[in-house]
Amino acid sequence: MKYKDGKPSTHPDKSSGTVPVAIMFVVLCGLSFYLGGLFCSEKEKYTTVNVKDAVESPKLNSTSPLQVKDVSFPECGLEYQDYTPCTDPRRWKKYGMHRLTFLERHCPPAFERKECLVPPPDGYKLPMRWPKSRDQCWYRNVPYDWISKIKSNQHWLKKEGEIFLFPGGGTMFPNGVGKYVDLMQDLIPAMTDGTIRTALDMGCGVASWGGDLLDRNILTVSLAPRDNHEAQVQFALERGIPAILGIISTQRLTFPSNSFDMAHCSRCLIPWTEFGGIYLLEIHRILRPGGFWVLSGPPVNYENRWKGWNTTIEEQKSDYEKLQDLLTSLCFKFYKKKDDIAVWQKSLDNNCYKKLDSPDNYPTKCDDGTEPDSAWYTPLRPCVVVPDQKYKKLGLKSQPKWPQRLHVAPERVADVRGGSGGAFNQDDSKWKTQVKHYKKLVPAIGTDKIRNVMDMNTMYGGFAAALVDDPVWVMNVVSSYASNTLAVVFDRGLIGTYHDWCESFSTYPRTYDLLHLDGLFTTESHRCEMKYVLLEMDRILRPNGYAIIRESSYYVDSIATVAKGMKWGCREEETEYGGDKEKILICQKKLWYSNTKQPSR
């Protein structure tokens, strides 16, 4: 994290009401909005779809000191319909093959940023609604046949006419994910009683495992790179299942330490014992004490499976023994094994780590040079992050069971600047009131029209907690420059990630139904050009999706001007408390189609 270097928090005291007034700041902010349209075509025609809950264009006043001229953005070419700026295949050849580093985040420099609107694919339709979307989606929304053809025998998905169906298959469960998870639950009873709430799925396929766990009150972050499977994460999000682009390679995963209750790999082909076991060291870091590590596929069940893995039984036996030895050295205990599934548990006893004090031991304990929660462009290190002994309730058995843990102030809230149990409870209560107000402003919230939600700059996850009874899931984002509150988010049984909004988010276009931000521009405008933040919001927002922008009055009118240039319809609303210091901008992205010719494939 970068918050230790004195950078400001993304959650200032909003009671102050102060706004920047320096002339130079005003000029620079105005220019950041005004510049645009350098790289793409100048087509401005678009088609709208009449929606019952569509919002109207704003009736703006001219009281804001930040004046922005009218701006419009051209559409990008159709070749950018699935544009992921920081994981762009067009740029992979610039980066090395070692440990697949080319698949990691590599964002374009400022002079290569696109200032255009990403179009939907030809024939795009509004996504199917949850829960129907879990089992099928429109082919034209994710028009890729590669997975369907190559993985047909494993029943990941199949195409029928203009629809993709998801039978629930996977590499290690071609006959259905339900039976696979049933077996897992037999091995891990903690999956059934609310003990396990958060999970990570490495190499997620089309996220069938994470989708099945939703019915079992386990919230999974499904993780996969943008690779030759083309659209694993895009399929997952189209289905309404939490997912994010990512790979475990040379940098830490963008999560705090001791956060997930369970991590899972089903033939994800990650070389766990290579490179000094550095990938398992990262799994150890993000699992909380008592958390479970579940592996199926090579080398598990090698006695019966080795012939299908193009290897020898001796090689697979050696790999399994190396895996066991490595996990033991990391203070994992073998838990249970049956058929293709093996389970290990991270030790709850810190005494296990005393053996790492020996200078001849490998791996060693991490020193104090890197904070355990530092995870934004932080290199992987060949050392063990030992849980801090000051935490007495960090272990899985010490956590309240779900759903009780949602509203219990976690122990780690005291590590947040200004954090306390009282501050947590106040925040929790505040968001219940504010979300109630949001639902009056956007009646679609709480209905099947909204499924994938992002809180772009959360504090403790209060916005997500207030929506927990609705048919949604929320990706909680904590700025890499803010106080580290993401550990608290995970402790209460929610999911999220670190991110810097000066860069593009690790997801495909058109993957969220609702974006919520609270004071993001007030806090981050000194670092990030707001124009690019808004263009990124447009990229990841689904057509007809909503943005709830809660901001200082200083910024609201200017944001609305840029939003109009992105073909959004917006209106300004009062907060639930009234007053002039803060306003709410309700925006809806319109559905439009490109006028350019579909590129050849």
Q: What tens digit of pLDDT does each residue of 119-163 get?
A: 999 999 999 999 999 999 999 999 987 666 666 566 778 889 999
Encoded tokens for 502: 């000066």
User: Do 220 and 191 meet the contact criterion of CB atoms below 8 Å apart?
Assistant: no
Q: What is the dihedral of CA 320, 326, 332, 335, to 10 degrees?
A: 10
Cβ neighbours for 517, distance < 8 A, ≥ 6 positions apart: 455, 456, 457, 547, 548, 549, 550, 551
- Which DSSP string corresponds to 410-474? PGGGGGSTT--HHHHHHHHHHHHHHHHHHHHH-TTTTSTT--EEEETT-SSSHHHHHTTTSS-EE
Q: Is 156 helix (H, G, I), strand (E, B) or coil?
A: coil
> Cα–Cα distance between 432 and 505 in angstroms, integer?
27
More confident site: 573 or 16: 573
pLDDT digits (tens, 9 = 90+) for 323-349: 999 999 999 999 999 999 999 999 999
* CB-based contacts of 351, cutoff 8 Å, min separation 6: none
Grade residue 60 by pLDDT with cuts at 50, 70 and 90: very low
Instruction: Note the pLDDT tens digit of each residue in 280-323.
Output: 999 999 999 999 999 998 999 899 888 878 889 999 999 999 99
Task: Extract the tokens encoding 112.
Answer: 């290569």
Q: How far apart are CA 380 and CA 385, in angstroms?
A: 11
As a whole number, mean pLDDT of residues 93-110 equals 94
Q: What's the mean per-residue pLDDT of the chain? A: 87
Nearest one of 510, 515, 491 to 499, comparing CA atoms: 515
With contact defined as beta carbons under 8 Å apart, do 69 and 582 qualify? no
Torsion of CA 415, 416, 422, 425, to 10 degrees: -110
Angle at which helices 530-540 and 23-34 cross, to 10°: 40
CA distance 515 to 513: 7
Instruction: State the pLDDT at residue 42.
Output: 33
Among 33-42, 404-413, 498-507, where is mean pLDDT lowest? 33-42
DSSP states of 315-353 as a string? Answer: HHHHHHHHHHHHHHHTTEEEEEEETTEEEEEE-S-GGGG
Look at residue 1 and tell me whether its pLDDT is greater than 50. no
Q: Which of 172-176, 503-507, 524-528 has the highest mean pLDDT?
A: 503-507
Which pLDDT belongs to residue 7? Answer: 37
The pLDDT of residue 588 is above 90: yes
Give the Cα-Cα-Cα angle 65, 70, 74 (nearest 5 degrees).
Answer: 140
**C-alpha span between 589 and 547 (Å, rounded):** 8
Please compute the mean of the pLDDT values over residues 188-200 and round it to a whole number: 98
How do residues 231-278 score in pLDDT, each as one tens digit? 889 999 999 999 999 999 999 999 999 999 999 999 888 999 999 999
Range with top average pLDDT, 64-73, 309-318, 368-377, 437-446: 437-446
pLDDT at 48 over 50: no
**Does residue 63 have a pLDDT over 80?**
no
In b/e form, how buried is each residue of 262-277, taking b as 16+ CB within 10 angstroms? bbbbbbbebebbebeb
Dihedral angle over CA of 467, 469, 472, 478, nearest 10: 40
Q: How far is CA 561 from CA 32, 42, 90, 482, 525, in A?
A: 13, 18, 32, 28, 16
Average pLDDT of span 158-171: 89
Q: Is the pLDDT of residue 599 over 60?
A: no
Distance between CA atoms of residues 206 and 238, nearest Å: 10
pTM score, whole prediction: 0.88
Asked if 505 and 468 touch (Cβ cutoff 8 Å), the reply is no
Q: Shortest CA distance to 297 belongs to which of 311, 286, 282?
A: 311
pLDDT digits 0-9 by tens, 507-548: 999 999 999 999 999 999 999 999 999 999 999 999 999 999
CA angle, residues 90, 272, 505, in degrees to nearest 5: 35
